[in-house]
Amino acid sequence: MAVAATQAGQPAAPAPSTGLTDRARQERKLAWLLCAPAVAVMTLVAGFPIVYAFWLSLRRSDLRFPDASEFIGFSNYSAVLQSTTWWRDFGNTMFITVISVTLELVLGMLIAQAMYRAIFARTAIRASVLVPYGAVTVVAAFAWRLAFDPATGFAVNLFNLDPPPLTTHNGSMVIIIFAEVWKTTPFIALLLLGGLALVPDDLYKAAKMDGASSWQRFVKITLPLIRPALMVAVLFRTLDAFRIYDAVFIITRGANNTESVSVLGYNQLVNRLNLGLGSAVAICIFACVMLIAFIFFRFLGASPERR
Amino acid sequence: MTESTQRQKILWILGTILVLFYALIPVLWIISLSLKDPTTIGDQKFFPTKWTWDNYDAVFSGGLGFNHALFNSIGIAMITTLIALVFASMAAYAITRLEFPGKTLILAGALAISMFPAISIVGGLFNVWRVVGLYDTWPGLILPYLSFSLPLSIYILSAFFREIPWDLEKAAQMDGATGAQAFRRVILPLAMPGVFTAGILVFISAWNDFLFANVLTSTDASRTAPVALSFFRGASQFTDPSGAIAAGAVIVTIPILIMVLIFQRRIVSGLTSGAVKG
């Protein structure tokens, strides 16, 4: 790949002097050439649509009434922010995010410890932990939905659940969270395992000699040392959980008041074909995600920057 | 933990078994459900009492459009992976090896894009794609997949490229190798593991997508397997599609699982280098 690129960069003719050496100028030109395709795709297919969505969100734009399209300022936003639906879905999404990320952290830490200290079958554990990671989200959601399905599921009967969880709001939320947690905990566990491997064993031995209990060793040694890995894992998982769409769509389609903000956006855009209102929802979600990221960077010290 | 007592040992063994259960039960369940006979699918038992391949026959028979969806999924994910690797390698090479203004901007932009919620851009794409004729086509899905997998692959590849001892290239040239030879014989073998790792992760993310595929496709022409799966209905209003869904789910999952298990070491290193920058 780089070969082709180098050849493409070579015919760069020496431009009039601007204080840079020819070599440095050629290097710049080559670098820009090499980055151009990636930057072009990211700008056109991710950057531009966000700007376009913002523009749409300021208009009355309903595909069922294309002629009624006009600029209406922030009316769509006030419609979204004054609706009970948005706030209910926002509440659902926050609930799913907070609970599932917390569970994932606790479970992920336990699994990472189990993998780290595994006495036997180390490879088997790592392999099996990667199974949920490899399962398509839609498949994970189906596995959980069908397990708790009143007609075909084994779980309703086995645990004697009455009423079946998928017929109630709380039950459905629990299943959605379970599906999400099952699928993504391995990701957290692997990141934390990477962090654990960096903790020198001598520290534990020394602390043990000084009489620190295993809980103390965990809180005083492990946690501070794996904090960077932990924060980045939590940041990415939080952003990801807030965007939850697949699991909700497959498990309930928003029934029993379990709609997430992404499903709300989808329904506005695709089912009601209301691009203006749907885009306003989309931009609100975008703002939430950026706010979450900002809070993590600014106050919680997550920094996925390069070393 | 060199000295562990008998009790601790038993505890960790128990933990290991729990982890195995946690990871494997849902997958075993969906496999077991896919093998259940239509007459016993409602028996609410974990293991099938009557085994059958009927569900798989139904899925592959063509009536559900699954064959075509599988073909779309494979094609779209493979093309996405190839293009993403070429573009990301070029960019990562420039970022790690060359000095140029705008480097930080590109990295920051890529990081920001990796946080974009897909739902925020899918509406705009939906509208534009219909006008420019990309709606319900392969490129219509490949483009958004690319824009979301480029940031991750640029980060992973930069992390890998930074570890390559690039002086070896010069050393080889001093020993009489041409530039191309030095690159092919020395640098390429060193870079391949990173490229490969990024490729696997891009393929998995493209294969896994549901939102874009659900919004930007409408027919067998480009509908991917996860979306086709969500559209499964019973042969009649009264037939339960659960068996077919389970069979389809198993088929969608197996290629990825095989890949994940074969390349587990690479995936783990890719995930950690792509996300953790301590």
A171-180 pLDDT, tens digit per residue, is 899 999 999 9
Q: How confident is the model at residue A254 (pLDDT cuts 50, 70, 90)?
A: confident
Residue A111 has pLDDT above 60, yes or no: yes
Q: Residues 6 or more apart from A11 whose CB is under 8 A from it? A: none
Q: Residues 6 or more apart from A244 whose CB is under 8 A from it? A: A93, A96, A97, A176, A180, A260, A262
> A70-71 and A59-60 as β-strands: parallel, antiparallel, unpaired?
antiparallel
The CA radius of gyration of chain B, in Å to the nearest whole number, is 23
Instruction: Give the integer Cα–Cα distance in Å for A179 and A141.
Output: 6
Tokens coding A84: 């009970």
Domain range list for chain A: 2-57, 75-299
Q: Out of B109, B125, B257, whose CB is closest to A49? A: B125
**Which residues 166-195 of B are in CB contact (within 8 Å) with A?**
179-180, 183-184, 187
Q: Residues 6 or more apart from A267 whose CB is under 8 A from it? A: A254, A259
Q: How far apart are the first and last CA of chain A?
A: 25
What per-residue confidence (pLDDT) applies to B84?
A: 96
| A153 at interface of B, judged by CB pairs closer than 8 A | yes
Domains of chain B: 65-231 (1.10.3720.10)
Q: How many angstroms away from the CA of A11 is the closest CA of chain B?
A: 16
Instruction: Give the integer Cα–Cα distance in Å for A182 and A169.
Output: 20
What average pLDDT does range A97-126 have in this prediction? 85
Contact B106, A53 (CB under 8 A): no
- Pairwise pLDDT comparison (A63 vs A147), residue with the higher score: A147
What per-residue confidence (pLDDT) applies to A11?
A: 44
A50-60 pLDDT, tens digit per residue, is 999 999 999 88
Instruction: Give the integer Cα–Cα distance in Å for A56 and A70.
Output: 10
Whether residues A27 and B256 touch (CB distance < 8 A) is answered with: no
Residues of B in contact with A191 (CB under 8 A): 271-272, 275-276
A207-253 pLDDT, tens digit per residue, is 888 888 888 888 888 888 888 778 888 888 999 999 999 999 999 98
ipTM of the assembly? Answer: 0.88
Give me chain A's average pLDDT, please. 84
| A128 at interface of B, judged by CB pairs closer than 8 A | yes
Instruction: Give the integer Cα–Cα distance in Å for B60 and A292.
Output: 44
Q: How confident is the model at residue A9 (pLDDT cuts 50, 70, 90)?
A: very low
Residue A117 has pLDDT above 80, yes or no: no
Instruction: Give the integer Cα–Cα distance in Å for B64 and A179.
Output: 25
CA distances from A219 to A171, A223, A224, B86 (A): 34, 5, 7, 44
Q: Would you call B162 helix, strand, or coil by DSSP? A: helix
| B122 at interface of A, judged by CB pairs closer than 8 A | yes
What is the pTM for the complete model shown? 0.87
| A71 at interface of B, judged by CB pairs closer than 8 A | no
CA distances from B51 to A15, B46, B59, B96 (A): 74, 13, 16, 55
Within 13 Å, how many C-alpha atoms sit on residue A107's CB side? 21
Q: How many CB atoms are closer than 10 A to CB A9? A: 19
Whether residues A279 and B85 touch (CB distance < 8 A) is answered with: no
Q: Would you call A77 helix, strand, or coil by DSSP? A: helix
Whether residues A307 and B99 touch (CB distance < 8 A) is answered with: no
Q: Which CATH number fits domain A75-299: 3.40.190.10, 1.20.1050.10, 3.30.70.20, 1.10.3720.10?
A: 1.10.3720.10
CA distances from B37 to A59, A83, B10, B94, B249 (A): 53, 47, 40, 57, 17
What average pLDDT does range A99-127 have in this prediction? 84
Q: Out of B18, B94, B119, whose CB is closest to A285? A: B119
DSSP one-letter code for A135: S
What average pLDDT does range A122-134 have in this prediction? 83
Residue of B nearest to A151 (CA): B42
**Which residues 47-76 of B are in CB contact (within 8 Å) with A?**
none
| B31 at interface of A, judged by CB pairs closer than 8 A | no
Instruction: Give the integer Cα–Cα distance in Å for A272 and A61.
Output: 11
DSSP one-letter code for A128: H
| A286 at interface of B, judged by CB pairs closer than 8 A | yes
CA angle in degrees (0–180, nearest 5) for A160-A161-A165? 155
Q: How many angstroms away from the CA of A174 is the closest CA of chain B?
A: 15
Whether residues B116 and A126 touch (CB distance < 8 A) is answered with: no
What per-residue confidence (pLDDT) applies to B277?
A: 36
Q: State percent of chain A over pLDDT 70.
A: 91
Amino acid found at A260: S
Q: How many angstroms away from the CA of B21 is the closest CA of chain A?
A: 9
Q: How far apart are the first and last CA of chain B?
A: 24
Written as tens digits, the pLDDT of chain B (278 aa) is 445 578 877 887 888 888 888 889 999 999 998 898 877 777 778 888 878 888 888 888 877 788 999 999 999 999 999 999 999 999 998 998 888 888 999 999 998 898 889 999 998 899 899 999 999 999 999 999 999 999 989 988 988 888 888 888 888 888 888 777 877 788 888 888 889 888 998 999 999 999 999 999 988 889 999 999 988 876 655 667 888 899 999 999 988 888 888 888 877 777 766 554 32
| A91 at interface of B, judged by CB pairs closer than 8 A | no
| A303 at interface of B, judged by CB pairs closer than 8 A | yes
